[in-house]
Structures are given as structure tokens and as C-alpha cells.
Structure 1
Amino acid sequence: MTAQISFEMQARDGLARTGVISTPRGEIRTPAFMPVGTAATVKAMMPESVRATGADILLGNTYHLMLRPGAERIDRLGGLHKFMNWDRPILTDSGGFQVMSLAGLRKLTEKGVTFKSHIDGSKHELTPERSMEIQKLLGSDIVMCFDECPALPATDKAVAESMRLSMRWAERSKEAFGDRPGHALFGIMQGGVTPELREESAEALKAIGFDGYAVGGLAVGEGQEAMFGVLDYAPGLLPEDKPRYLMGVGKPDDIVGAVKRGIDMMDCVLPSRSGRTGQVFTRCGVLNIKNARHQDDPRPLDEACTCPACRHYSRAYLHHVFRSQEIISSMLLTWHNLHYFQDIMAGMREAIAAGRFAEWEAGFHAGRAAGDIEPL
């Protein structure tokens, strides 16, 4: 067991990297995809099932957990790992993004943000110091700085002001985080789609010094082309020897494109949320289980997939339970999607280690371009 959190890069192929983040709660193989356990659960999944898909780490949401059931309560009950029965690493976000996207009537000042809960309208304040305190109460292994994330498109002036505020908050987050052996603090680069602002942000974060660095403020409506445009240079502005985390991404081709550009960690609600709405990710692209073409189809979702949904159930059955609004539908489709996302990560790790990333990527895109199997 390591007492500290460390990152070892084991191989690179072009800008793509593979390595291991070592934590007291276990190793995180990178590139890593983190399923999102918003309210201390990955919806429709048991923790052991999430682990069985290949996940090494989960993400928890500071904003949701502080409102319900409350960080102090989770602390009294033994911390988030014990509370949700997940004994491996957990990363918690800072709450900044959810305040932007969910909270009603938020008021932003130098000190922090006051907002009304989307659950019951109660008033709350989130500052860098309070965010660090909540994440400490939760007991997460990787803690994110408190930042402000403006929705794009926004003016250069607004993006610059927001980024500089986030950098001042990053400094306060680091101070409030203190010395916590076995726990890591990640800084978050902001700056929209403007290279000069991204560079200014990276320099400010490096001067403060963090255990890892996130590229924030993307996947907020700018589109894949603009996102890749930023990722063509942004990871290279961050330290080589620390993990790089792209927040809130994404679709399978977003993930592959990000790893190709030097990203080590990602998270997204997409596989679990899509599973609940009948959207299924496979090697042959995306299919919709509610479509009538599946109702008499005895074949699995994906012949090559080893998840329980594909091993034991037909498209016809999955179509039926989805249309009947049976809970098993969310369970099986979520499991399949998470399994597929982890398969992508394992495939990339293997390909980077073998120096075959370009070949693997070509095969990945060709498979998805081929489209779903022909209807019977």
C-alpha cells in the first residue's frame, strides 16, 4: 500500500500515454474512464458490478452530496467509500460546474457562490474553503479545486475574468486543502477556446503546484471540433509527469480523440444516462433498443461483448423490457454501456503499450462507421 498518490507513465505512442496512478486504495490504470456516481451511486448498478466492468475509480458530485444527504452526515457514517460500499479510489468534483448548470438564483462574488438548492430552494454558500472542507468530509482520494466554469459561447472578456477568478480560487483551494497524505488535489485549467488564456491559466496552476491537472471548461456546448482544437495544445501546457484529466467527456470518439492528444482521465454520465434511455453503444456505433427492428431479433447487442446483457439476453428481450419500463432494462443496458467504455480504455492502454495506437484507432473508427448489423 502506498501512502502517497503518485503517477508513473509506462509508455507513450505519439502524444497518447499509458501509466498508473497509485493510491492507498488501489491503482488506477490510465487512460482511465471514471463512471459518474452522482449521489453516491452509479444509477442502476451495484458497486461490484461497476468494478466488474473494469472501472478502477468512480466520480462523486460535491454539489449533490452536500445537499443530500449532507457531507457532515456522510462523515459521521464513516465517509463516502464506506457509505456507498466502494473501497477503491473516488474523485470528487468541486461543485462549481453543478452550481453553474443546476442551481437557481446564484450570486457570484470574489468570496464564492451563494445559490438556491434545486431540490428544495434552501440557500447555500460554496467557497474554495467550504468545497475543500466538504470533500475532506466525504473522504475522496482525489479532490478538485473549486472553480467557476462559464457556459460557452462567452465573450473573451468574460472568459478571461472567470479564468482569473478560478486561479485565485485555486490558490485558496490549495491553502485550504493543506497537507493530506494519501489524498491528491488537482488544479483546473480554464480559458475557454483562447490559447493565450489557456496558457496563462496553466502557468498560474503550475506556480501553485498540484498533484494533477484538469482541463476544464470544455464539453459545455462548444462542439467537438472546437474541443479538439483546444486539446491540440492544452495538455502540452501542463506538467508531463502529472495526470491530466479532461472533465465531463464524453462520447466514445471524444474519449479516443482526447487520449490521442495526451489526456489520461475522463468522466461522463453518458454511458449510464444513455442506458436508461435505451441508447446502446457498441463497436458498430450507436443503436436504439426501443426501435421496432429489434423486437423479433434473437441476437445479442454485440456478438463480441462479454457483458451480462450480451452473454445472456437477446435484443428482442432487451427491447421488450425497455418498452415495458422494467427496471432490469436500465440495469442491463447501463452495464453494457459501461463495459463498452471500459473496453475502449483497455484497448487503448494495450495499443499504446505496444506502439500500435494509430492502428487501433483506425480499427475503432472503421468499426463504428460500419454501422449496426443488418436487421433480420
Structure 2
Amino acid sequence: MTQPFSFRLLATDGRARRGEIVTPHGVVRTPAFMPVGTLGTVKAMFMDDVKATGADVVLGNTYHLMLRPGAERVAALGGLHKFSTWDKTILTDSGGFQVMSLAQLRKMDERGVTFQSHIDGSRHELTPERSIEIQGLLGSDIQMQLDECVRLPAEPKEVERGMQLSLRWAERSRRQFEAMGGPEKGQGLYGIVQGGDVPSLREVSARELSAMPFEGYSVGGLAVGEPQAVMLKMIDVVDPILPRDKPRYLMGVGTPDDIIESVARGIDQFDCVMPTRAGRHGLAYTRFGKLNFKNARHMDDPRPIDPTSDCPAARDYSRAYIHHLVRTGEALGAMLLTWVNVAYYQSLMQGIRDAIEAGRFEEFKAETKAAWARGENG
């Protein structure tokens, strides 16, 4: 039998938590930021370079991989780890959010969702059972229940309907996960707290899910355009309810400021397309704030982005050169800035982990925000 999925807390500082998740493909140090590898690739990066930034886990997506190249094909080729050459932990999203946001002519009922592919119009069905089956075929270490993500703003009755449906789908997802031997394989399945921006519904969802035997718990349905204060309030609502001895994952978040504020409220895992998408659009995230390389101010600047960085893209290339690449549309510009951003996010997470262990998280948070505000060396 494979070593079972586990999580242990190593240190706390206020509500901030430093821990470790053990999966069949290694240890994930938390708080952790998971680069998004939707189609089995972190866009514009080699997997070895992703690993070198310090990432312990990447995210893949059920919806996209079921459409192309197909879960059964990936399984026949050895699973997503071998297929993508990523030998560390993989977390897969359930596909529910993408069905709601991308698919055409979707129809949802108690059984699941039927939809037309946004690629070629082909018809598909995604049920809680099929979502878990696909994630099992992909071989992901951390899997997600299928849920319904209700778009905000929405009427409370609609939010409650989606939350209750997600709870029923959570039970079905768990049964399928156990039937496929997920626990015996050392894999984990996370339940997803829904409830929109209604505190009482978030409480119900968190309590009901906490009574189910999940390996971890996610907070979903946020980072969809609501103000940061609303997101943080919903975290505050569920934090005292969710089991202390299980990891908490805030889905789709976010900016460095979102991350550091959410860590302060007990969140352990994050994912977001922001650092890779920003890199493809000429934007760098750094310890002294954001730099837009479309701006002419960088045209004659011989300095690197950050001479103290361990990332070669930030340390070894001049701002003038990167500006030139961005302005001329060269693919290398997107590659270098994506590398810079993923490396910065991992550096931020390491700083957070070190600060929690040292009992100085609040000082680190204040110092980091002050450096962003000053834009020092920018």
C-alpha cells in the first residue's frame, strides 16, 4: 500500500499556518502556491524550470484534459505525471468552473452537467462520478469534488440552490473516490465550500462538508470579481469551522496581496493563472511591485529586474532587452516574464513559510506590503 495522504501542522503564528502535505509524489510545503498547468503545461515554461522555482505542486484541469487529449489517452500513456514530465505532486480541478464559464448550451440537473465543447461543439456529460473517474485516469494526487460555482452577484435563493447541490455532489464524489481506491493509492479528495457571499450559507456548507471524510477542504466561488473585502470576510466565516488538521485551499487566488491576506486567515494552498497570464502580457511581479514592460521607461534601462533573485530571467537579462522582446512580440519575452513571475510567487511563499516558523509573520506581511508600496529599485 502507498503511504497514505497526510497533512501535519509544523508551526502557527496567529491564524497563519505552516505545514506539510504528503502525497505519492512528494511533500508539498504549505502555504503553497500552485502554478496553473491547465492542459498539462505551465504556459511558456519548461517543467524543470517550474521545479527550479521551488514549486512542489502544479494544477491540471479535468474539463480541458477530458476534451484534449482525453483522460483515457493520458492514462494509456502513463498518466499525467509521465505525460507532462512533472514528477512532483499534481492537483486537478474538477472541471465544474470551466463547464459553467466556457461550455456552450450547457444543461444542469441533479445527475450532472451536459454541455457542448467550446472547441468543436461535441457533446459531453460531466457528473460527480465521471469527474472523479477522469481525475483517477489522469493519476492526480489531489482531486476535487464536482461542484456548481454560481456566478456572483446572484440572488440568495440561487446561491443556496447551488450550495445544496454541491453538497449532494460532494457525497457522490466521495463514494466514487473510495470505489476507485483513491485512499489506498495515497491520493486525497477535497470538498469545496460554496455559498457565494452569504455568510450563513458558507457556514452551512462548511459544517456539512466538515462532517464528510475529505482529506482537505477548499473554499470555492470566490475571486470571481467580488471586492477583496468580501473574499476575506467569507474566509473569516469558514476558518473556525473547517477542521484544523486538514489543509485549506482557496481556489483561483490570486494577487500577492490576496495571498498574504488569506494566509493570515488560515489558508494553506492557492492557485491562479495571474503570474503566467501577466507574463504573456508584458507584466512582471517582483518584490518591489509590478513592472509593465510595455512602458518606454524600460527602453534604455541596463539593470536586471532583480539582481538578488535566484531566477536567471530576473537576474541575468536587462530590463531594456526584455522591453525590446515585449515590444517586438518575441516569444522569449513572454517566457522570461512568466519565469520571473512564477519564481517571485514561489519566493513569496518561501518568505511566508519562513516568517511563520520564526513567529514574525505580521512583521513580514507589513515589510512586504511596504516594499510593494515604495516600489523600491523599480
Task: State the TM-score bracket (shorter-chain normalisation).
Answer: over 0.9
**Structure 1 counterpart of 2:278:** 274
Equivalent of 1:321 in 299, 316, 325 = 325
Of 295-304 and 263-272, deviating more is 295-304
Deviation at 1:232, TM superposition (A): 1.8
Which residue of structure 1 lines up, in the alignment, with residue 166 of structure 2?
166
- 1:280–1:337 contact (8 Å) kept in structure 2: yes
**Superposition pairs of residues 8-87 of structure 1, within 5 angstroms:** 8-87=8-87
Structure 1 SS opposite 2:211: helix
1:280-295, aligned counterparts within 5 Å?
280-295=284-299
Shift of 1:106: 0.9
CA contact (8 A) 1:13 1:355 kept: yes
Q: Where does residue 299 of structure 1 map in the other structure? A: 303
- CA–CA distance in structure 2, aligned partners of residues 226 and 302 of structure 1: 34
Deviation at 1:55, TM superposition (A): 0.2
* Percent of matched pairs sharing the same residue: 62
SS at match of 2:308: coil
Number of residue pairs aligned between Structure 1 and Structure 2 = 374
Task: Flag as ranges the 4+ runs of structure 1 deviating above 6 A.
Answer: none
Is residue 135 of structure 1 aligned with residue 135 of structure 2? Answer: yes
Q: CA deviation at 1:53?
A: 0.5
TM-score by length of 2: 0.97
Shift of 1:235: 2.1
Instruction: Work out whether residues 151 and 221 of structure 1, in 8 Å CA contact, stay in contact via their aligned partners in 2.
Output: no
Whether the 8 Å contact between 1:2 and 1:22 is mirrored in structure 2 is no
1:293-372 aligned within 5 A = 293-371=297-375
Contact 2:287 2:371 in 1 (8 A): yes
Deviation readout 1:167-194 (Å, 9 max, x if unpaired) = 0000000011113221111000001111
The AA in structure 2 aligned to 1:326 is E
CA-atom RMSD in angstroms: 1.1
Q: What code does the residue aligned with 1:110 have?
A: E
CA contact (8 A) 2:203 2:237 kept: no
Q: What corresponds to 1:225 in structure 2?
A: 229
User: Paired residue for 1:188?
Assistant: 192
SS in 2 for 1:154: coil
C-alpha distance in structure 1 between counterparts of 2:288 and 2:358, whole Å: 24
Task: Report what 1:122 is aligned to.
Answer: 122
1:149 equivalent in structure 2: 149
Match for 1:257: what amino acid?
E
Question: Is the 2:40–2:84 contact (alpha carbons within 8 Å) kept by the matching residues of 1?
Answer: yes
Q: Following the alignment from structure 1 to structure 2, what is the Cα–Cα distance between the partners of residues 63 and 73? A: 14
* 8 A contact 1:129–1:176 mirrored in 2: yes
Counterpart of 2:296, as a letter, is A
Report the residue type matching 1:275 in the other structure.
G
| 2:256 aligned residue | 252
C-alpha distance in structure 2 between counterparts of 1:327 and 1:217, whole Å: 33
Letter paired with 1:143: Q
Are residues 1:197 and 2:201 paired?
yes
Which amino acid in the other structure matches residue 99 of structure 1?
A: V
Helix, strand or coil for the counterpart of 2:22? strand
Task: Report if the CA contact (8 A) 1:104-1:117 is conserved.
Answer: yes
Q: Counterparts of 1:7 and 1:297 in 2: how far apart (Å)? A: 46
- TM-score normalized by structure 1? 0.98
Q: Distance in 1 between matches of 2:149 and 2:213?
A: 21
Letter in 2 for 1:168: R
Aligned to 1:109: 109
Q: Distance in 2 between matches of 1:133 and 1:92?
A: 12
Structure 1, gaps ≥5 residues long = none
Distance 2:345 2:231 in 1: 20
Q: C-alpha displacement at 1:312, in angstroms?
A: 1.2
Q: Give 1:302 deviation, angstroms.
A: 2.2
Q: Distance in 2 between matches of 1:72 and 1:92?
A: 15
8 Å contact 2:307–2:316 — kept in the other structure?
no
Gaps of 5+ in 2: none
- Does the CA contact (< 8 Å) of 2:306 and 2:315 recur in 1? no
